[in-house]
Structure 1
Amino acid sequence: MDLHDRSILLTGAGSGIGRALALQLAQHSVRLTLVGRRRAPLEEVAELVRGRGSRAHVVAADLTAPGAPAQVVAAALEAFGGLDVLVNNAGNVRAGRLESLSEAEVLAQIALNLTAPVLLTRAALPALRASGQARGQASGQASGQASGEALVVNVSSGIGLVALPFYATYAATKAGIAHFGDALRRELAGEGVRVLNVYPGATSTPMMDSSSAGAEHGFEYESAQDVAVATVEGMTGDELRVVRGGQARRRMIALDREDPAALDAVLAERKEALEQAVAAHSSL
């Protein structure tokens, strides 16, 4: 996929992986609609994007508010006349024992991590399909046979692949958005829209500042820039999945698939230490 001059809607663009993605995408002379709750950090990112030769439009919005997904898509269409790529990156987390979380903390994770991107994708699909089919026809392909001309990117999590204790709600939402992406990709086959799922591991972002989990708990950190580089490579390389997280996480993924009881035993040994390390982990 050639990203040059593509209209891209990116959520959670003010910090962390979203900010790094915006700066990485800006190297491809794109048109970025930057979405987040707070305008100030979005404006800062927008200036950096423009400094790298791309265009940027800022939309400060709470994606969990009624009607917000449709309004955000409309803003992107108004700013840039179309939409080629949607990146569902915005997310939040609250770790801890399930019964220790308030109902509001549970619902907040479901609303932003799962409901909002589903509704945002739903609102964006007509424009994405139109982009994909138009580009397919322009490249000489028959209508309805275009593949990968438009794109949806869902940023899940390594915890969406291997569910960890004390992340029950978060794991549910991140596995949910990944399965949503897989199902949607198959639903849209032959319609000019590709879907890419990205599974970051532990990433050095503000979202992780309140966690003290480290390598001894199975968390191998990498930079947001490394995740962004891998994501953009997946976008341009027509990948279906980008999985990060280091060798320890890859071994956990394999063990969970081959012998889940064995992984249960490994995690049981870490359980008490992990609970203490993530007790305060929250970005709500």
Structure 2
Amino acid sequence: MQIEGKRVLLTGGSSGIGRAIAAALLEKGAHVVITGRRRDVLDAAVGELQARGGTVHAIGADVSDPAGRAAMLDGVLEHLGGLDMLVNNAGGVRAGRLEETTEAEIRAMVEVDLLAPIFLTRAALPALRASGDGLIVDVASAIALIGIPFYATYAAVKAGLARFDEALRRELVGEGVRVLTVYPGATDTPMMRTSRAGPEVGFTKEPAEAVAQAVVAAVLADAFEVVRGGEVRAQMIALNRTDPLALDRRFADLKPALAEAVRDHAAL
């Protein structure tokens, strides 16, 4: 898919991976509408992105709210006159032991990380079909591929999004709309600021810009997935299929340190 001139709606675009993807798409000539809940942060992001050149607009709305999703679609059609690419990036996380995670926190992850992208995609499909060259990009997580202790609910919703993408990709074959799933690893973003997990427990953070460049490359190549983490991640994914108990043993050794490192990790 060529990016120049494409009309993009990108949720959670005020910071982190979302803002980095917006910047990378703008550099390739896309026209972008970003969304977010905090107007001040959103306006700051727009100012920074506009300084790079290109067309960028912002819509302050909550992706978990039906009215917010409607405002996003109405806004992108008003600002850009159509929609070629939907990037479902907005997300939230609460780590820790399951029994210490509140029902409200669990529901928030389900709403924002799974239901919101499903509902927004459903609502956006007519506009994407009308494009004739539509693309849905969903930002999942490497935790969707390898379940990590203390991220049970987050793993569930991100894995659910990944399987949603797989099924929808096959549902839309030959209909002018493709699906791309992105599996970032630990990334240096505001979402990770409350996590103290580092390389000693397997969390080596990469810049959000590296993820964004990989996404752009995948869009240009008509790929269906982006898996970050290099050969180490690929080996873990393979081991998780062939000998999952080996990973159980590895995580058992890391559990005490990991529990302490992520117990305050929250971004909802």
- Range into which the TM-score falls when normalised by the shorter chain: over 0.9
* Rounded Cα–Cα distance in structure 1 between residues aligned with 2:60 and 2:37: 5
1:203 aligns with 2:203: no
Could you say what secondary structure the match of 2:34 adopts?
A: strand
**2:265 alignment partner in structure 1:** 281
* Rounded Cα–Cα distance in structure 2 between residues aligned with 1:248 and 1:211: 21
Could you say what secondary structure the match of 1:13 adopts?
A: coil
Range with greater deviation from structure 2 (62-71 or 194-203): 62-71
Q: Is the 8 A contact 1:218 1:249 kept in 2?
A: no
Distance apart, 1:22 and its partner CA? 1.0
Name the Cα RMSD after superposition: 1.1
* Rounded Cα–Cα distance in structure 2 between residues aligned with 1:39 and 1:245: 33
Distance apart, 1:44 and its partner CA? 2.2
Aligned length: 268
Distance apart, 1:42 and its partner CA? 1.9
* Rounded Cα–Cα distance in structure 1 between residues aligned with 2:114 and 2:60: 19
Q: Is the 8 A contact 1:204 1:224 kept in 2?
A: yes
1:196-246 CA distances to partner (integer Å, 9 max, x unpaired)? 000000000111111111112111211000000001111111111100024
- Give, as a single letter, the amino acid of the residue that structure 2 aligns with 1:282: A
1:114 aligns with 2:114: yes
1:19 aligns with 2:19: yes
**1:165 alignment partner in structure 2:** 149
1:224 aligns with 2:196: no
Distance apart, 1:47 and its partner CA? 2.5
> Map of 1:137-176 to 2, 5 A cutoff?
149-176=133-160
- Give, as a single letter, the amino acid of the residue that structure 2 aligns with 1:87: V
TM-score (norm 1): 0.92
Could you say what secondary structure the match of 1:280 adopts?
A: coil
Distance apart, 1:261 and its partner CA? 1.2
* Rounded Cα–Cα distance in structure 1 between residues aligned with 2:6 and 2:42: 19
**1:136 alignment partner in structure 2:** none
Q: Is the 8 A contact 1:9 1:87 kept in 2?
A: yes
Q: Is the 8 A contact 1:218 1:248 kept in 2?
A: no
* Rounded Cα–Cα distance in structure 2 between residues aligned with 1:214 and 1:252: 17
1:19-47 CA distances to partner (integer Å, 9 max, x unpaired)? 11111111122211110111222222223
Distance apart, 1:51 and its partner CA? 2.8
Could you say what secondary structure the match of 2:266 adopts?
A: coil
1:120-145 CA distances to partner (integer Å, 9 max, x unpaired)? 0001000001102xxxxxxxxxxxxx
1:3-29 CA distances to partner (integer Å, 9 max, x unpaired)? 111110001100000111111111122
Q: Is the 8 A contact 1:255 1:262 kept in 2?
A: yes
* Rounded Cα–Cα distance in structure 2 between residues aligned with 1:250 and 1:164: 15
Range with greater deviation from structure 2 (183-192 or 258-267): 258-267
Structure 1, unmatched stretches of 5+, are 133-148
TM-score (norm 2): 0.97
**2:79 alignment partner in structure 1:** 79
